[in-house]
């Protein structure tokens, strides 16, 4: 393999596709949609939490209302005390939207904790903030009723926070836990976007007979490796832009300087991510060389995308039991190694030998799929009028085929 030829293919693929409308539209629209969806969700939730509401209270205990009023002092929920004889008038006001609803407290439901809140439509009501405040007020009321002092109440209601601390003294890092899972998700997105472009690019060159001209100047292996490097950097450029936009947006809401990661935490994540991307890109390119049209390619692409997603389907079990035997076995199957290991890295501290051994397995998988892709490239690219079967792919692995 001649690296100057590989670099020529890389430059041609990279600069051709980086200027393409599909790449530009995908790169720009996805972060815009993400920002739009996140912004709408944030402002909608903020608006709901800050929206002022009027709630009437019927206190048949004669004692509870002051506790509720004190706890709602700084809340957008405004309460007013009413007599039990005014239930019909309150119901009319709720139906007329003059009140959001009314609460009834009796000695029985204060004891049981089952509080009735009457509203116009129970499906529309959001009781999150109100429920928390009522629960807090009811707790203080009950404690005082059983004779607890203010100091005892303060001690009993003090929050409990569990801080995980490693015996080694290493501090807990949210970024070290979230980043690997984030990269596993990004790997799937990158495979879906860049891998699809790579496969359809091969299909297009094959159908237009451009591949004949290319193979007269470079070998199949040089063409494959050049394409993988070109589309790999395209994918990393795309992900870098998305990440920059995401961090810029996140910086407006919290201090992103607190989520820094050390090189020891970041390097394994990047190695498994890049290795997985190269392996799946080689698989996409090889599949593109076996197809005769885009219709067959779309079905094959769905199967290839499904492979890295299989560990994601079991992500809950993997994160909860990252050292289970079946998870370790999955880590040593090359096509599942990237996503599985990224999730395990985020869920637990893995020994160096396990990181090294699974990465070696991944590199063997990368080498195998590049070899497979080169064999299929050299024998399948010039078969323009038909789709190559799996049986024929097996034959292509033999040197004498």
CATH code, domain carrying 57:
3.40.190.10
Number of domains in the chain: 2
Query: pLDDT value at position 360?
Result: 94
Last residue of a domain, one of 156, 188, 222: 156
Query: pLDDT value at position 27?
Result: 76
Distance CA 170, CA 348 (A): 13
Distance CA 170, CA 339 (A): 25
Residues 221, 326: one domain? yes
Query: pLDDT value at position 242?
Result: 76
In a domain, 162, yes or no: no
Residues 113, 198: one domain? no
Residues 388, 296: one domain? yes
Residues 288, 374: one domain? yes
In a domain, 352, yes or no: yes
What residues does 118 pair with on adjacent strands?
102
What residues does 78 pair with on adjacent strands?
54
Cβ contacts of residue 131 below 8 Å, gap of 6+? Answer: none
To which residue do tokens 């790997």 refer?
187
- Contacts for 36-42: CB closer than 8 Å, 24+ residues apart: 38/249, 42/253
In a domain, 37, yes or no: no
Last residue of a domain, one of 156, 188, 217: 156
79 φ, ψ to 5°?
-115, 150
In a domain, 169, yes or no: no
Q: What's the whole-model pTM score?
A: 0.62
Distance CA 27, CA 194 (A): 11
Alpha-carbon distances, residue 154 vs 73, 140, 145, 394 (angstroms) = 19, 9, 15, 73
Query: pLDDT value at position 253?
Result: 60
Distance CA 369, CA 362 (A): 11
**Where would I find the H helices in 251-351?**
263-290, 294-313, 315-320, 325-331, 337-347
Residues 193, 336: one domain? yes
DSSP summary character for residue 98: S
Query: pLDDT value at position 47?
Result: 52
Cβ contacts of residue 156 below 8 Å, gap of 6+? Answer: 143, 148
Residues 131, 68: one domain? yes
Residues 185, 300: one domain? yes
Q: Which three-class secondary structure state does DSSP give residue 258?
A: helix
Distance CA 198, CA 287 (A): 10
In a domain, 39, yes or no: no
Task: Provide the 10 A C-beta neighbour count for residue 76.
Answer: 12
Residues 20, 115: one domain? no
Q: Which three-class secondary structure state does DSSP give residue 169?
A: coil
Distance CA 78, CA 81 (A): 10
Residues 150, 292: one domain? no
The radius of gyration computed from the CA coordinates of the chain, to the nearest angstrom, equals 31
Query: pLDDT value at position 401?
Result: 44
The tokens describing 392, both together, are 């024929």
The residue ranges of the chain whose pLDDT is under 50 are 297, 401
In a domain, 251, yes or no: yes
Residues 270, 244: one domain? yes
Q: Is the dihedral of CA 253, 259, 260, 261 positive or negative?
A: negative
Query: Which residue range forms the structural domain that includes residue 358?
Result: 3-31+174-396
In a domain, 184, yes or no: yes
Residues 205, 289: one domain? yes
In a domain, 36, yes or no: no
Residues 240, 347: one domain? yes
Last residue of a domain, one of 86, 121, 156: 156
């Amino acid at each position: 393999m001649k690296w100057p030829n590989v670099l020529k293919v890389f430059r041609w693929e990279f600069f051709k596709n980086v200027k393409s409308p599909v790449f530009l539209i995908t790169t720009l629209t996805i972060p815009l949609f993400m920002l739009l969806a996140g912004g709408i969700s944030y402002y909608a939730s903020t608006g709901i939490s800050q929206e002022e509401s009027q709630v009437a209270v019927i206190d048949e205990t004669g004692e509870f209302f002051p506790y509720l009023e004190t706890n709602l002092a700084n809340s957008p929920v405004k309460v007013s005390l009413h007599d039990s004889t005014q239930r019909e008038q309150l119901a009319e006001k709720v139906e007329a939207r003059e009140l959001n609803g009314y609460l009834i407290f009796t000695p029985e439901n204060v004891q049981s904790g089952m509080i009735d809140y009457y509203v116009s439509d129970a499906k529309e009501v959001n009781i999150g903030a109100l429920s928390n405040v009522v629960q807090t007020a009811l707790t203080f009321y009950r404690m005082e009723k059983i004779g607890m002092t203010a100091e005892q109440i303060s001690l009993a209601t003090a929050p409990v926070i569990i801080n995980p601390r490693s015996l080694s003294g290493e501090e807990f890092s949210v970024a070290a836990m979230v980043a690997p899972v984030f990269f596993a998700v990004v790997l799937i997105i990158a495979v879906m976007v860049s891998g699809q472009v790579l496969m359809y690019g091969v299909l297009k060159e094959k159908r237009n007979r451009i591949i004949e001209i290319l193979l007269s100047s470079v070998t199949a292996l040089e063409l494959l490796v050049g394409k993988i490097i070109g589309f790999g950097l395209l994918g990393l450029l795309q992900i870098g832009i998305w990440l920059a936009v995401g961090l810029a947006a996140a910086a407006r809401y919290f201090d992103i300087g607190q989520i820094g990661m050390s090189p020891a935490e970041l390097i394994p994540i990047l190695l498994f991510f890049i290795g997985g991307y190269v392996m799946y890109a080689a698989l996409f390119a090889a599949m593109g060389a076996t197809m005769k049209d885009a219709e067959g390619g779309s079905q094959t692409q769905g199967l290839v995308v499904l492979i890295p997603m299989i560990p994601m389907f079991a992500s809950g079990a993997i994160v909860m039991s990252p050292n289970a035997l079946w998870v370790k076995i999955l880590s040593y199957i090359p096509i599942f190694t990237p996503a599985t290991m990224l999730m395990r890295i985020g869920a637990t501290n893995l020994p160096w030998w396990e990181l090294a051994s699974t990465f070696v397995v991944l590199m063997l998988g990368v080498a195998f799929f590049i070899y497979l892709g080169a064999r299929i490239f050299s024998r399948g690219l010039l078969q323009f009028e038909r789709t190559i079967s799996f049986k024929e792919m097996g034959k292509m692995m033999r040197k004498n085929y």
